[in-house]
């Protein structure tokens, strides 16, 4: 294997000098390579920084430069366009070419891929490729997992299984991970690689879930046997570099043959997650699912309101520099809409009337204020897509039942639905898929009412493209739709709002958006941009936590939430009708969100963790006799949280006969 690096050294700009002189770069100095070690090249649409130094430190140290490179690698694992027909052999054979070009660009050679990468996708396929490069006395093997263009593999994404065939991990991704490991073994054997090796693996979305389980399984094997991939090679945990992006949750706390997901053996696995992305929240934590390794979070307004606007300026600069239209970026556009109980009948009448026009027109009418039955919920301050999607998934999971209930009652139907829908030939466009999801969610009110059972079939037929065989999927998806529609009565605002903003939420799952976020946390890209544009933008640091505290109150319509010292009022709501709360900052600079079900005399506060609060409660109620209670819990979002789905932090319940009783409780939301 040749040692020559095929990348050209970037000499036109002095950005590499700036990398080592600006304050932004100082934060990343632990990973700063010598100037002569960093190559800068332009490969297709991306500027790529590469250095062998990325593989000279322990994999247990998060490297923002390697993270960016890994995210770009996942982008080139995705084939462009679609095959013209199932006989388009040239298209299928050419799928790995972009990834091969990426590896060649950074000096990795001996490219090879598995058969699944050059064949038509099916329920259980997984495209994997590898290339290698000599760094000092080691062979670095880069492993790219196809991270888009899955087509019919979508059916596998919802195949959780009952756990008996996958050690309780997600069965579909568990099987894909084992295929990846077998391919890696075969690659090492076929290339006759011997001696010390380093493995670098990356994946986005489904590819990220597969990469996460692959690295987790390898970490467990390395605990017992250093010869995990071949008898002629040696691999250590410090030399296994795993980076995933927007990866769903495939590991499980109920597994028996591997160490628990929070164990230190997985601290070489890094997962970059946008809290406002729906995809990394499945499979559901209520079934024990999580990720191996450590999560790093993209900043959002809820967690960092003081720096949010300036952080987004850096991200958007990177996004535009990659020739992406900034005006099309709408991922942060999320507001809560509600259906006041008095408006439900009017909403039903209006939605029945406009069903035939399609979800796109429904959404435009809502935005234009033409459906007065839906109202913006102004009682919610800084209530974002992260909390909204989390609570809706929680309610849907509760309605589904156990994991066994899901696998026996819903799994096959949803999988068959996706197998029909996500075809490679005549592929449904994302806009069409979002239109279907929006329509189904927005019309949940109608489907939930007695006597409206016939409408789901009508809407599905109206929403689907003509190329789809409707009869094959009606029976498949109806049971799960019934579960979703049932969730309306507990989480109406979440369901409607997610339906309204479904395309904005899913834009957080766009890999081009991810690349720009990763470049914004990488001093190489930020410093280069600052030099060429004569700006002084800072590096945007990723967060280490996106969990939130949840305080639920019953029969309290007069409350105050203070900081630990008792001097700063974070939330104040009084009288029977909840008013919009102000957005204030907590001790570590993050905001308090507020939410209320005023008609039910129930309130919920959502607050950052790692803080202590003082809760003032006055037992105000419209009823003369009432039970006043509160409970506080820790809502786990990240893989770092030791399986805290709802870790109780405080409770109180008692009878009150007057509306003047006042209580004060301290709540510790520290992790």
pLDDT of 393-426, one tens digit each? 999 999 999 999 999 999 998 898 888 778 787 6
Instruction: Determine the 3-state secondary structure of 245 from DSSP.
Output: strand
Parse the chain into domains and list their residue ranges.
67-306, 337-500, 548-668
Chain segment 274-315, per-residue pLDDT in tens: 999 999 999 999 999 999 999 999 999 888 888 899 999 999
pLDDT of residue 14: 27
Q: Which of 439, 438, 419, 445 is nearest to 505 (CA)?
A: 438
Q: Is 47 a residue whose pLDDT tops 90?
A: yes
Q: State pTM to two decimals.
A: 0.90
Q: Is 18 a residue whose pLDDT tops 50?
A: no
Residues in the chain: 671
Which of 19-33, 149-163, 609-623 has the weakest average pLDDT? Answer: 19-33
pLDDT of residue 318: 97
Helical axes 470-486 vs 430-442, angle rounded to 10°: 50
Structure tokens that stand for 138 in this block: 């080691």
Structure tokens that stand for 635 in this block: 């809502």
pLDDT of residue 28: 44
Mean pLDDT of the chain, nearest integer: 83
Q: Is 334 a residue whose pLDDT tops 90?
A: yes
CB 298 within 8 A of CB 311: no
Assigned fold of 67-306: Rossmann fold (3.40.50)
Structure tokens that stand for 543 in this block: 């967060």
Q: Which helix (H) or strand (E) holds 452?
A: none
Instruction: Determine the 3-state secondary structure of 3 from DSSP.
Output: coil
- Residue 202's DSSP bridge partners are 144, 243
Q: Is 212 a residue whose pLDDT tops 50?
A: yes
pLDDT of residue 23: 35
Reported as a pLDDT band with limits 50, 70 and 90, residue 33 is low
Which residue bears the tokens 């770069």? 25
Instruction: Determine the 3-state secondary structure of 575 from DSSP.
Output: coil
DSSP track, 124-140: T---EEEEEEEETTEEE
Structure tokens that stand for 332 in this block: 């942060």
Structure tokens that stand for 363 in this block: 């959404």
Peptide bond into 667 cis (omega under 30): no
Alpha-helical regions (H) of 569-624: none
Chain segment 549-580, per-residue pLDDT in tens: 888 887 776 778 888 877 777 777 765 454 55
CB 140 within 8 A of CB 73: no
Q: What is the spatial distance between Cα 528 and Cα 513, in angstroms, rounded to a whole number?
A: 19
Q: Is 1 a residue whose pLDDT tops 50?
A: no
How many CA atoms are closer than 13 Å to the CA of 267, on its beta-carbon side? 6
Handedness of CA 484, 490, 492, 497 (dihedral sign): negative
Chain segment 94-137, per-residue pLDDT in tens: 999 999 999 999 999 999 999 999 999 999 999 999 999 999 99
pLDDT of residue 305: 84
pLDDT of residue 354: 59
User: By percentage, how much of the chain surpasses pLDDT 90?
Assistant: 51
């Amino acid at each position: 294997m040749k040692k020559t690096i095929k990348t050209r050294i970037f000499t036109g700009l002095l950005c590499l000098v700036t990398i080592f002189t600006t304050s932004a770069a100082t934060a990343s100095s632990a990973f700063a390579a010598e100037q002569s070690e960093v190559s800068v090249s332009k490969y297709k649409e991306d500027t790529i920084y590469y250095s062998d130094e990325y593989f000279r430190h322990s994999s247990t140290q998060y490297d923002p430069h390697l993270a960016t490179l890994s995210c770009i690698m996942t982008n080139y694992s995705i084939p462009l366009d679609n095959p013209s027909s199932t006989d388009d052999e040239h298209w299928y054979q050419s799928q790995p070419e972009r990834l091969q070009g990426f590896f060649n660009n950074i000096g990795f050679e001996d490219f090879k891929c598995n058969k699944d990468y050059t064949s038509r996708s099916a329920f259980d396929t997984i495209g994997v490729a590898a290339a290698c490069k000599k760094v000092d006395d080691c062979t670095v093997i880069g492993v790219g997992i196809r991270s888009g263009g899955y087509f019919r593999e979508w059916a596998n994404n919802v195949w959780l299984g009952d756990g008996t065939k996958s050690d309780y991990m997600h069965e579909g991704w568990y099987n894909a991970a084992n295929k990846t490991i077998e391919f890696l073994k075969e690659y090492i054997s076929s290339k006759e690689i011997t001696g010390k090796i380093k493995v670098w693996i990356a994946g986005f979305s489904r590819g990220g879930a597969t990469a996460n389980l692959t690295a987790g399984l390898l970490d467990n094997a390395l605990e017992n046997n250093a010869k995990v991939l071949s008898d002629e090679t040696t691999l250590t945990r410090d030399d296994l570099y795993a980076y995933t992006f927007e990866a769903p949750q495939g590991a499980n706390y109920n597994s028996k043959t591997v160490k628990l997901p929070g164990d230190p053996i997985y601290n070489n696995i890094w997962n970059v997650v946008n809290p406002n992305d729906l995809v990394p929240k499945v499979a559901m934590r209520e079934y024990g699912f999580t990720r191996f390794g450590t999560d790093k979070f993209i900043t959002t307004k809820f967690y960092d309101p003081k720096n949010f606007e300036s952080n987004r300026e850096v991200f958007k600069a990177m996004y535009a520099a990659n020739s992406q239209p900034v005006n099309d970026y709408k991922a942060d556009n999320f507001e809560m809409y509600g259906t006041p109980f008095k408006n439900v009948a009017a909403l039903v009448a209006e939605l029945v009337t406009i069903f035939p026009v399609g979800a796109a027109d429904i959404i435009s009418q809502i935005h234009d204020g033409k459906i007065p039955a839906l109202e913006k919920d102004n009682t919610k301050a800084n209530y974002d897509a992260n909390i909204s999607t989390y609570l809706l998934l929680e309610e849907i999971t509760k309605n589904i039942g156990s994991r066994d209930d899901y696998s026996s009652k819903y799994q096959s139907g949803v999988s068959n639905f996706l197998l029909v829908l996500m075809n490679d030939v005549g592929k449904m466009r994302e806009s069409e898929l979002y239109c279907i999801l929006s329509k189904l969610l927005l019309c949940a009110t109608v489907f939930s009412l007695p006597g409206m059972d016939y409408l789901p079939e009508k809407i599905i037929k109206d929403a689907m493209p003509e190329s789809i065989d409707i009869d094959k999927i009606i029976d498949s998806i109806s049971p799960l739709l019934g579960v979703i529609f049932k969730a309306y009565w507990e989480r109406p605002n979440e369901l409607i709002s997610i339906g309204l903003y479904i395309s904005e939420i899913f834009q957080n799952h766009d890999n081009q958006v991810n690349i720009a976020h990763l470049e914004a946390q990488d001093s190489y890209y930020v410093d280069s941009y600052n030099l060429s544009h004569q700006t002084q933008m800072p590096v945007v640091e990723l967060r280490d936590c996106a969990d939130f505290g949840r305080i639920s109150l019953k029969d309290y319509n007069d409350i105050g939430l203070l900081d630990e010292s008792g001097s700063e009022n974070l939330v104040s709501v009084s009288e029977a009708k909840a008013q919009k709360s102000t957005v204030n900052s907590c001790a570590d600079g993050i905001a308090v969100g507020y939410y209320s079900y005023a008609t039910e005399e129930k309130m919920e506060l959502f607050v950052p963790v790692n803080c202590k609060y003082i809760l003032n409660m006055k037992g105000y109620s419209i009823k003369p006799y009432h039970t006043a209670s509160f409970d506080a819990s820790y809502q786990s979002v990240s893989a770092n949280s030791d399986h805290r789905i709802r870790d109780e932090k405080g409770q109180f319940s008692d009878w009150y006969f007057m509306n003047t009783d006042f209580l004060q409780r301290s709540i510790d939301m520290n992790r």
